[in-house]
Amino acid sequence: MKDGSTKVIMLGTGTPRPDPERSGPATAVVVNDTPYLVDFGPGVIRRATAAYEKGIAAIGFGGINIKTVFLTHLHSDHTVGYPDLIFTPWVMGRREPLDVYGPKGIAAMTDHILKAWQVDIDGRTNGINRHNSTGYKVNAHEIAAGVIFQDRNVKVTAFPVRHEEMTDSFGFRFDTPDRVIVLSGDTSPVQSLIDHSQGCDVLIHEAYSMESYHQVSPRSQEFRRCHHTSSAELARIANEVRPSLLVIYHRSNAGGGSARLDHEQVLIDELKRDYAGEVVAARDLDVF
């Protein structure tokens, strides 16, 4: 890949289950050395720093260069890292406010977090260690489907997905000078994703394996059918979209203890029964 071209860095490929090997959902798209972040699950700034130390200099130490952020939906596994994203890079020296684009409710969540950490903000801006008084601020933009952001590097289009009671949930399409990247967010199969993924280079999609599906309770099975996408469903989607590369993230496990951890290979094998294209099950810090 040539320098300055678009890269996707998987900062967190996990789910609500606190797997020490997987941070919560967070993905960086780096274009012309500018980072854009999608979702901020638990551990986001630790993983951003790990990516920096692995050579993704554009992110900056402590994620200090992350200024433009997109949120797929308000579920806690995608947002528990929000105070980390707001405060840690600020404490490391970020001066510019964050711009965060997310569903209705992101403005209230932002206000509540800033209020909850008011003592810290007062202490740091007025105390001996005087931090700047701008870098903790957030411009929260509540989005609807359509083009939600454009600059010289990217055009970002939000499209509605289906995540049952989370009716304000989105996937994102990034058009950059050299690539088209689509992130599914959390969704069961939905036509809008197929429509917005046509011609994409990389489709980053959530999935659960049918093997794990058969190990969970009937109630959990119903939950999955309404909220998420099975390997068999994803194969059908991928056959319609034909991405150059399919990347699986937010992979559901069978649940329970670590002895029941789902293996990537199971998911890949299931996909490959019905899909002949290139497919990878992402791990944290993978770069595509």
Query: Which residues contribute to the site for Zn ion (CB under 5 A)?
Result: 75, 77, 186
Residue 118 Cβ vs Zn ion, minimum distance, rounded to whole Å:
29
Q: Please report how many Cα atoms fall inside a 13 Å half-sphere around the Cα of residue 283, on the Cβ side.
A: 6
Residue 186 Cβ vs Zn ion, minimum distance, rounded to whole Å:
3
The letter for the amino acid at 109 is M
- To which H or E segment does residue 271 belong? helix 264-274
CB closer to Zn ion, 44 vs 180: 44
Is the CB of residue 156 less than 8 Å from the CB of residue 149? yes
Residue 263 Cβ vs Zn ion, minimum distance, rounded to whole Å:
20
Helix axes 231-241, 264-274, angle to 10 degrees: 50
CB closer to Zn ion, 68 vs 188: 188
CA–CA separation, 145 vs 148, rounded Å? 8
Residue 227 Cβ vs Zn ion, minimum distance, rounded to whole Å:
7
CB closer to Zn ion, 77 vs 262: 77
Is the CB of residue 121 less than 8 Å from the CB of residue 136? yes
Which residue from 200, 193, 197 is spatially nearest to 178, judged by alpha carbons?
200
Residue 272 Cβ vs Zn ion, minimum distance, rounded to whole Å:
25
CB closer to Zn ion, 97 vs 105: 105
Q: Name the burial class of residue 256, with classes exposed (0-12), middle (13-18) and buried (19+) by CB atoms within 10 angstroms of its CB.
A: exposed
Residue 61 Cβ vs Zn ion, minimum distance, rounded to whole Å:
28
Residue 46 Cβ vs Zn ion, minimum distance, rounded to whole Å:
19
CB closer to Zn ion, 22 vs 179: 22
CB closer to Zn ion, 175 vs 186: 186
Report the b/e string of 144-175 with b at 16+ CB within 10 A.
eeeebbeeebbebbbbbbbbeebebbbbbbbb
CB closer to Zn ion, 58 vs 247: 247
- The pairing of strands 170-175 and 180-183 is antiparallel
